[in-house]
Amino acid sequence: MNELTADNLQLWRGEQHVLRGVGVVVDGGQCLQVTGANGAGKTTLLRALCGLTPLDAGRICWRGSDIAIDREAFHSELNYLGHDNGLKADLTAAENLHYAAALRRPVRAPQIAAALAHTGMAEVAGQLLRRLSAGQRRRVALARLVLTGGALWVLDEPGSNLDASGQAVLLGLLQQHLAAGGAAVVATHQGLDLPAAQLRSLTLQ
Amino acid sequence: MSAPRVGLAGAAAALIARDLRLALRRAGDTLQPLGFFLVVTTLFPLALDPQLSLLRDIAPAALWVGALLSSLLALDLLFREDAHDGTLEQLALCGLPFQLLLLAKTAVHWLLTGLPLVLIAPLSAIALGAPYRSMPGILAALLLGTVALSLIGAVGAGLTMSVKRNGSLLALLVLPLAVPVLIFGARATALAIAGEPLAAPLYLLAAIAVLAATLAPLALAAAVRIGLE
């Protein structure tokens, strides 16, 4: 079944025609890799797919129903990681995860610790986020992804600032998510080392 | 894949707890509006002739202009940082009613500026020569007025959150809308000081607060969504 479909997405930014009839189809267990030069509209497309940016034309459907009709049901299954990590600098890594998860599902401290350990951030759990490096913050954001789950992941340059082992963690998370039947849309310049059956690609011009 | 969901009340409580904890970590910034109110209102008696009747005449104006400006001081930060670090996006995408989550954030603004202001207002009122018997009336008016001010101000903060150096724009947007609160609040305070019945302006203040609580969340959600685009 097609989990996420979008056809003929059109979006203008002033005089600039950013999305010109883009179509998207992602099934459960599949990852759509969005590539394209800088400024090609990858972030815009991802934000439009989340329902953050209104479209000029086109329709986005999640499990067959238009996301504009039941936005909250769609968002409850969506997990978005944008350029900004969505973490507070004045909270510790563990506190950040606690409050982020509290918006979605009940979690306990051991689950938070496990999620942080999963992304290699167990040691800095009690540190304020402002003291962490950009790569470490990204790993904490990945830990949030682990913790809050969701059937559809929309990730914008998830590998930015990550070192090689961080990239491996990210790929592992993605593989687990797809194996569990989840869908993903990932904007990235780096190749994703996934089996061809799980990978679709879309290049924006 | 469907995990148990949290309820709206739990999520809103967590959001309020988060913002209060953040405010506690920046106690200096948090206390600024309160200090501002206290200093401004106690400067009047120092600058004026020490005549009780004169002080009592200007007390309502001093208290309410002070409350209005101190409410405005903390608005700037209400959404801007959340918009900047991406937590506002996460809030918009968490699958719970956005307007109610933003209402929870507005409640934090009131808890940090409105409520403490009501609690220290007797100090300023006494400095301005208000008699003790007028305190209940003054506090009731401030209680209702600060709720309305937080709600009205939040809409302005939502509209200007993505504008750099938004302080003066925010004031231009919010202050005209806050004029009814100022008028009825000052009137209620004047009546309380004079020892006359003040039910009429209090009811009007309550009506403004209820109206703001009903409409502001919708306007706020629309404004913040535009800002997030």
Q: Do A105 and B95 touch (CB under 8 A)?
A: no
Q: Do A182 and B6 touch (CB under 8 A)?
A: no
Amino acid at A56: D
Angle at A135 between CA A130 and CA A140, to 5 degrees: 70
Predicted confidence at residue B114, as pLDDT, reads 96
Measured distance CA(A49)–CA(A165) in Å, rounded:
29
Q: Is the pLDDT of residue B163 over 90?
A: no
Predicted confidence at residue A1, as pLDDT, reads 59
Question: Nearest CA to CA, how far is B49 from chain A (Å)?
Answer: 47
Mean pLDDT of A118-145: 95
Question: Nearest CA to CA, how far is A138 from chain B (Å)?
Answer: 12
Mean pLDDT of B29-33: 92
Q: Is the pLDDT of residue B30 over 70?
A: yes
Cα nearest neighbour of A55 on chain B: B229
Arithmetic mean of pLDDT over chain B: 93
Q: Full-prediction pTM beyond 0.90?
A: yes
Predicted confidence at residue B162, as pLDDT, reads 84
Measured distance CA(A24)–CA(A34) in Å, rounded:
10
Our count of domains for chain A comes to: 1
List, as one string, the DSSP characters of B182-219: HHHHHHHHHHHHHT---HHHHHHHHHHHHHHHHHHHHH
Burial pattern A167-188, b for ≥16 Cβ within 10 A else e, equals eebbbebbbebbeeebbbbbbb
Predicted confidence at residue B4, as pLDDT, reads 58
Per-residue confidence band for B48, with pLDDT thresholds at 50, 70 and 90 = confident
Measured distance CA(B157)–CA(A70) in Å, rounded:
27
Measured distance CA(A106)–CA(A148) in Å, rounded:
9
pLDDT per residue as tens digits for the range B171-227: 999 999 999 999 999 999 999 999 999 999 999 999 999 999 999 999 999 999 999
Question: Nearest CA to CA, how far is B4 from chain A (Å)?
Answer: 6
pLDDT per residue as tens digits for the range A16-34: 898 999 999 999 999 999 9
Q: Is the pLDDT of residue B2 over 60?
A: no
Q: Do B6 and A181 touch (CB under 8 A)?
A: no
Q: Do B14 and A99 touch (CB under 8 A)?
A: yes
List, as one string, the DSSP characters of chain A: -EEEEEEEEEEEETTEEEEEEEEEEEETT-EEEEEESTTSSHHHHHHHHHTSS--SEEEEEETTEETTTSHHHHHHHEEEE-SS----TTSBHHHHHHHHHHTTS---HHHHHHHHHHTT-GGGTTSBGGGS-HHHHHHHHHHHHHHH--SEEEEESTTTT--HHHHHHHHHHHHHHHHTT-EEEEE-SSPP---GGGEEEEEE-
Q: Which residue matches tokens 């194996």?
A: A179
Q: Is the pLDDT of residue A102 over 80?
A: yes
Q: Residue B87: in which H helix or E strand, if any?
A: helix B87-92
Contact residues for B165 (Cβ-Cβ < 8 A; gap 6+): none
Question: Nearest CA to CA, how far is A150 from chain B (Å)?
Answer: 7
Is A44 at the interface with chain B, CB within 8 A?
no
Domain hosting A194: range is: 2-204
Q: Is the pLDDT of residue A41 over 50?
A: yes
Q: Do A74 and B95 touch (CB under 8 A)?
A: yes
Is A85 at the interface with chain B, CB within 8 A?
yes
Q: Do A72 and B95 touch (CB under 8 A)?
A: yes
Q: What is the CATH number of the domain that holds A140?
A: 3.40.50.300
- Which of A74, A102, A151 is nearest residue B14 as measured by Cβ atoms? A102
Per-residue confidence band for A152, with pLDDT thresholds at 50, 70 and 90 = very high
Cα nearest neighbour of A150 on chain B: B1
Give just the sign of the alpha carbon dihedral A45, A51, A56, A59: positive
Question: What does the DSSP 8-state code read for residue B132?
Answer: G
B21 vs A contacts (CB less than 8 Å): 91, 95
